[in-house]
Structure 1
Amino acid sequence: MQHGMLFNSLSSPVPGVDVEQMICSLSEPVDPSALRRAWNVVAARHAILRTQFRWTSVDDPVQEVCDSVDVPFAVRDLRDVAEAEARAEIEAFLTEDRRRGFRLDEAPLMRLCLFRMGESTWELVWTFHHAILDGRSFPLVLREVFAAIEDGWDHAAPTPRAYGDYIQWLHRGDAPCSEAFWREQLRGFTAPTPLGGARPASDPAPSFRERELRLSG
């Protein structure tokens, strides 16, 4: 799939192919410097966020992971701009930013722009190339960014296990032994059975925080 995205981006006469944008509306005090640090911390934890592509002088395109990156992060203050004009400026930015695209041989393949709309209202635009993230991945990245701010992560934050380690573990696995284990564990079960960690229906609903994400086509 990444090969196809790379081909589409390189061959298209129109820039911005496979460029994705997420808009996060924040109604709370925001420290732009802390937010920028959080994005760099998360990028340091995940190789895919430090990935670029190389397709020249090789038989097949390859991914290259940089040791470190500085995620581009811009801040624009629109507090003195009328609301309608500010919204129009953001829409114009989104169009221009998509058309700008990315150089796929230069990591990181993402950038951010934080718009200050009021004293405690912000719009965060996160632009990235689809070759590094899919629809199931970006909520996990956002969750880590906000956790990095709230929990005070620094550059010593633990690095997650690489997906390649899981693949190697699978290849080393003993399928007959695993099957025998689960057959023994599930012996006697003849109907769908709730998992042991399932929350009973009578338990109070968990509390949660709400964040609004506005998607731009």
Structure 2
Amino acid sequence: MSKQPEQSLSQRFQDLTPHQRQILVEAMRAKAKTAIAPIPRYDHSAFIPQSYTQRRLWFLFRITPDSAMYNMPECARLTGPIELEHFNGAFNDVLERHSSLRTVFTDTEHGPAQTILPVTNQAVEVVQAPFAEGDPNREERVTQMLTDLSNRSFDLENGPLVRMTLIRVGEHLHYLVVNMHHIISDGWSTGVFVADFSECYRARVENRPHRLKPLAIEFADFVRWQQEHMTSARLDTLRRFWRDRLAGVEPLRLPFDRTPTSAVTDRGGYRYVHFDAQTTARLKVLAEQWGATVFMALLAAFKGLLHLYSMQEDITVGVPVAGRTHPSTEDLIGFFANTAVIRTNLGGSPTFKELTERVRNSSLDAFEQEDTPVEMLVEMLQPERPPGRNPLFQVMFILQNTRKPALSLPQIDIKLLAAGSTSVKFDMLFEFAESGEGLTGWLGYRMDLFDEGTMTRFADAFTKLVLAVCEFPDKPLNQIDIPTNPPLEAQDFNDDLEIIPQIRRPRFG
């Protein structure tokens, strides 16, 4: 009997069911993490460098120190008896546990540095609401207070860079704002903060020690370790990898109502998008058939719409990644998050199936080197820097696939609220999250660049496109009836922020 040729790993992977693929990938990631040597503890009594990602925010702070663009507020309504002494105690327990929350920043003769401040008592701010609990305009007035608190700027040189504020409306009714600057935190970190604060508060109410396991390292240890691993040989490898994949990246031609310039601010607007459970299930089935994920299918649809608007075949989008490739970092608060730059060619009139497969391949390719700080990419590649725009990508796409721990406090009913910050850090940002009701998302945009009507039509077009490709996945995208108008051409850009004369064809007819 002749021996059958051995299947390649990729062929065997394709033969697995979607569930088996997920189990295999998670097992490989876990094995890879356990194989990594532990991060050592370093001496932080002298110089502590800033991480690659922190340096960018430090640079921006020195230019616009009053900006709230990188605030990270979380808001909630608390109904029940709050024990303020325990609230203060639990807050300071978390500050003592995570040295990143006691960090400030400066320039030194050795370069940009961060300094860990000693443990001191920081009180939770308590603000008395200037209205009664029964005020008919309470919600509107609370929303304004949450927005004002969320948009207070931080002093990165002197701190503190985290605030916890309670708005007291009644004896058993408070509104909570937890606000951190991005230079010391990220999305994963907010979940760590919530989980740790919940445990510390409960422990104080129950008069017992908290049950949090000791942290193996501090964020500053990770920074030193990361920089030691960026050897010249490693940098040469990364430079070759990314130059090959990002050479010649051009800025996206988006449907601007006003020209991008250096005067553009982060003032943002939002449009909501929802796909019901049936559409979400259909998208999942298609993605699984093609060896992809729902994230990849949604990103493919988004890139398809950007292609239809811009008529560009080369579409590059930024996608956030956790940046926690070492197991010791999972319980830390700090700025680990990074951005994967995903570039996909849409030439040749692809179908949705073909485009999803291309996005799958370009995504996996980018994720291979997800530990490359995007700031380092900009330094290495030195791409064109259009005024007021990010150099490598101008739009961000997010699918929240991790469930944050819920704030849990004894005898208190908690309802999460939309955060008060209205900043948008990119020309355009799409963010989705999945629930039992389907996929819900919002399109964020810079109001200095786009009118509300333009973004309403863009969001509607995305909805129509997803519904269309779910029904006709083998139909070329350019044959799907999603009317768009030509984008503002790059040569029309100038140095002044001005309204472009409305002589172009109306969008969507």
TM-score, normalised relative to structure 2: 0.31
Give the 5 Å matches for 1:135-174.
Answer: 135-152=187-204, 159-163=214-218, 164=221
Distance verdict in 2 for CA 1:95–1:149, change over 3 Å: closer
Residue of 69, 73, 85 corresponding to 1:17: 69
- Distance between the aligned counterparts of 1:92 and 1:213, measured in 2? 16
CA offsets 1:169-213 (integer angstroms, 9 cap, x no match): xx9xxxxxxxxxxxxxxxxxxxxxxxxxxxxxxxxxxxxx68432
Aligned to 1:64: 115
Conservation of the 8 A alpha-carbon contact between 1:16 and 1:101? yes
CA offsets 1:86-126 (integer angstroms, 9 cap, x no match): 43443333343344311101232011210123342321111
- Distance between the aligned counterparts of 1:77 and 1:130, measured in 2? 27
Aligned to 2:416: 213
User: Aligned pair 1:90/2:293, yes or no?
Assistant: no
| AA at the equivalent of 1:114 | L
Conservation of the 8 A alpha-carbon contact between 1:46 and 1:159? no
Aligned to 2:154: 102
Aligned to 1:175: none
CA offsets 1:9-67 (integer angstroms, 9 cap, x no match): 22137521311211022222111221011101110011111111112x33421111111
User: Aligned pair 1:48/2:100, yes or no?
Assistant: yes
Shift of 1:138: 0.7
Conservation of the 8 A alpha-carbon contact between 2:73 and 2:178? yes
| AA at the equivalent of 1:31 | E
- Distance between the aligned counterparts of 1:160 and 1:148, measured in 2? 15
Aligned to 2:127: 76
Residue of 72, 78, 87 corresponding to 1:26: 78
| AA at the equivalent of 2:96 | A
Conservation of the 8 A alpha-carbon contact between 1:32 and 1:75? no
Conservation of the 8 A alpha-carbon contact between 2:149 and 2:177? no
Shift of 1:70: 3.2
Conservation of the 8 A alpha-carbon contact between 2:76 and 2:175? yes
- Stretches of structure 1 that go unaligned for 5 or more consecutive residues are 172-208
User: Aligned pair 1:123/2:175, yes or no?
Assistant: yes
CA offsets 1:145-176 (integer angstroms, 9 cap, x no match): 12111112669x874221438x97xx9xxxxx
| AA at the equivalent of 1:6 | W
| AA at the equivalent of 2:124 | F
Aligned to 2:430: none
| AA at the equivalent of 1:61 | P
Conservation of the 8 A alpha-carbon contact between 2:203 and 2:209? no
- Stretches of structure 2 that go unaligned for 5 or more consecutive residues are 1-52, 229-407, 422-509
- Distance between the aligned counterparts of 1:84 and 1:133, measured in 2? 37
Q: What number of residue pairs does the alignment pair up?
A: 176
Conservation of the 8 A alpha-carbon contact between 1:9 and 1:17? no
Aligned to 1:37: 89
Distance verdict in 2 for CA 1:136–1:83, change over 3 Å: farther
Greater gyration radius: 2
Distance verdict in 2 for CA 1:120–1:81, change over 3 Å: closer
Higher RCO (C-alpha under 8 Å, 6+ residues apart):
1
Instruction: Provide the identity percentage.
Output: 22
Shift of 1:133: 0.7
TM-score, normalised relative to structure 1: 0.68
